Structure 1
Amino acid sequence: MRAVSSAMAADRFDTEVLQQHWIPLASSDADTAAVLRERLGVDFAAARNRVWETDNFLYLPVVANYKRGDTIERETIVFALGSEFLVTLQPAEHFVPFDKAIAKMRRNPALTGSAHGVMYALLWALNEASERVIYYASDALEAMTDDIEMATNGYDQRGREIGVADMRGTMSRMNAAEEIVSRTQETQLQLARAARHLMADIAVHSAALESLIAILIADIDGVKQHAGFEHDKVRYLQQSVMTWLDVKQNQIVKVFTIITAVFLPPTLIATFYGMNFTWMPELDWQHGFLATTLMTLVAAVIPLVYIKRKGWLR
């Protein structure tokens, strides 16, 4: 019975309390958009996903990143902040990050008393979603550490030499992690801009709300710094793998160069004796074949000894 009562209270909170100052607008709901444009003057088409200010509303777009299952989703949310209402242009389907904002407003009902308080809670939820995305990218990078360490050592767990093809999957995952972190950095810049505009747009002085927004701006900057750290980390790992690939390629070229240097003199001798001369005196020698064979071996050993003394075999 208590659980049913709590659920009913939550539904009443969502429908009655939140809608006093917050109007979520699905991006595919053209009819509601037309009504809001006529009654309130909200025109998202004129804003066109940019910071835009009219007499009644301030438009602030934020490209949000959030984790859904094992995938990272990316959606654009446009806030239309007015003196009485906050209208959010958001996906038609259920937008998961705003659930935490609603839960926060249930814990702190004072936030629902103004459009600015509601927008603070929504921005806070988007920042929390970005932080979870960064932790997801960090865990993905940690999972690749063993693969990168084996690559730098040159051998896998079975002692088999690692080739370039073996690192394609790791490189692909690192590139995906870098893209996630880079997008999160972009999101944090947009969140910080929206939070600063929110702070500046508070008409009636509210020390409590201003303090919360100031903390939010600091938290957004903290997540941005964390994203920067992870971005530097993934770039370092990428550079390490690329350096290993360059070394691997240089080793392959070195092997072929040594093989060419060793076999070039014997090949020259073999080419010489393959010519159709009318008279070759060594062919009449008793030990001509042995002498020619030894000369060929010496011609092969001389460059090999030279290369080894130079340390090019290491």
Structure 2
Amino acid sequence: MLNVFTLSNGRLFQEEIESLEELSRFQPIWVDLEDPTPDEKRWVRQYFGLAIPEDAIDDDIEESARFYAEDNGELHIRTDFLMADPDEPRQVRVAFIINVSNASSLGHGVLFSIHDETVPAFRLLRMRARRMPGLLDDAKDVLLALFDGDTEYCADTLEGVYDELEGASRKVLSDNVTDDVASEVLAAIARQEDMNGRIRRNVMDTRRAVSFLMRSKMLDAEQFEDARQIQRDLDSLDSHTTFLFDKINFLMDATVGFININQNKIIKIFSVASVALLPPTLIASIYGMNFQVMPELEWKYGYVFAILAMAASALLPMWYFRRRGWLK
């Protein structure tokens, strides 16, 4: 899918392109290619003179090749955007290409973005730009706004992680934490730990991209200050993810502790039963030796006496354990 975005009266307008002739009618500041076809790549190459690399959004690209500048002034940025899908949270690789060395020439002053699937930060920018005239002036503003949108998306996702962990905290700190409740809490904690880790990774990647953009010396004073503000927001998110990791570790330890307590209760039952049944077992073993002098051979109440002795020897330890409170 090929979409172009143009500015008119300070507002961002989107057009879906289905042919080269249709593309030639626009002078966009942003060209977005979502899962582009070979024909769409060819249209971009013919109209803008830009050859999109085949490995633009490959996941196995070397880290050193994710941020670089070409001799012709093109900046290449490959960064990840968070996709906080509850069923399958993941990062979406997005490749940006921008050249503002000669904004008066065709194909310069245009931001190109290439990705495989829809990115939430992109939708957020389109809604903002329609509602807030004058938000964007050029391609650099679009790129900074995308990074800012990704930062806010991470912040919103962190709030969701907070809410989920609060629910898990109430379950862990309740009076009765059964094994079923503990398993639910552990599953919830594992999901939020994975989400928190992805947010932290995304914050680190966005920080690197914004830092590279600042070092490129292509931003004016106002845009440079906007980039610094994005960096400060990312730093605040980083501290929040650290706090959440500590909270997750606490909840994990508390839940595992309750599981151990429940298991110890079961082991205590077996321990008490084994100790209580030890005297009857000893009596039965002695009476089962069948020596000539054993009472049951000459005393008709011998077996009754043995049964009563075994019952008493079992009840006495149970009474003692109950008095000590070990059976509660």
Q: Secondary structure at the match of 1:97?
A: helix
Say whether 1:21 aligns with 2:35.
no
* Matched-pair identity in %: 23
Q: For 1:135 and 1:249, locate their aligned partners in 2 and report how far apart those are by CA, in whole Å.
A: 34
Cα offset, 1:170, TM superposition: 2.6
- 1:233 corresponds, among 225, 247, 259, to 247
Structure 1 unaligned segments of length 5 or more: list them.
1-7, 156-161
- 2:77 corresponds, among 49, 57, 60, to 60
Paired residues, number? 294
Q: Write 1 or 2 for the structure with the bigger share of helix.
A: 1
- 1:45 corresponds, among 21, 42, 55, to 55
Q: Secondary structure at the match of 2:230?
A: helix
Q: For 1:103 and 1:295, locate their aligned partners in 2 and report how far apart those are by CA, in whole Å.
A: 85
- 2:231 corresponds, among 217, 229, 234, to 217
TM-score (norm: length of structure 1): 0.78
Q: What amino acid is the match of 2:276?
A: V
- 1:184 corresponds, among 178, 182, 199, to 199
Q: What amino acid is the match of 1:81?
A: I
Alpha carbons of 1:236 and 1:276: their partners in 2 closer, same or farther (altered >3 Å)? same
Map 1:1-314 → 2, pairs under 5 A: 13-15=13-15, 20-36=28-44, 39-45=49-55, 48-49=58-59, 50=63, 51-55=66-70, 56-67=73-84, 74-83=91-100, 84-92=109-117, 94-105=118-129, 107=132, 109=134, 111-113=136-138, 115-150=139-174, 153-154=175-176, 162=178, 164-203=179-218, 206-285=220-299, 288-289=302-303, 291-293=305-307, 295-297=309-311, 299-300=313-314, 303-304=317-318, 313=327
Cα offset, 1:263, TM superposition: 0.4
Q: Secondary structure at the match of 1:167?
A: helix
Tell whether the 8 Å contact from 1:283 to 1:289 is kept in structure 2 after alignment. Answer: no
Structure 2 unaligned segments of length 5 or more: list them.
1-7, 16-22, 101-108
CA RMSD of aligned residues (A): 3.4
Q: What amino acid is the match of 1:207?
A: A
Q: For 2:318 and 2:152, locate their aligned partners in 1 and report how far apart those are by CA, in whole Å.
A: 63
| Cα distance per residue 1:43-66 (max 9 Å; x no partner) | 151673441424143333333224
| Cα distance per residue 1:246-280 (max 9 Å; x no partner) | 12112211221111111022123223323444552
Cα offset, 1:189, TM superposition: 0.6
| Farther off after superposition, 245-254 or 99-108 | 99-108
Q: For 2:160 and 2:40, locate their aligned partners in 1 and report how far apart those are by CA, in whole Å.
A: 36
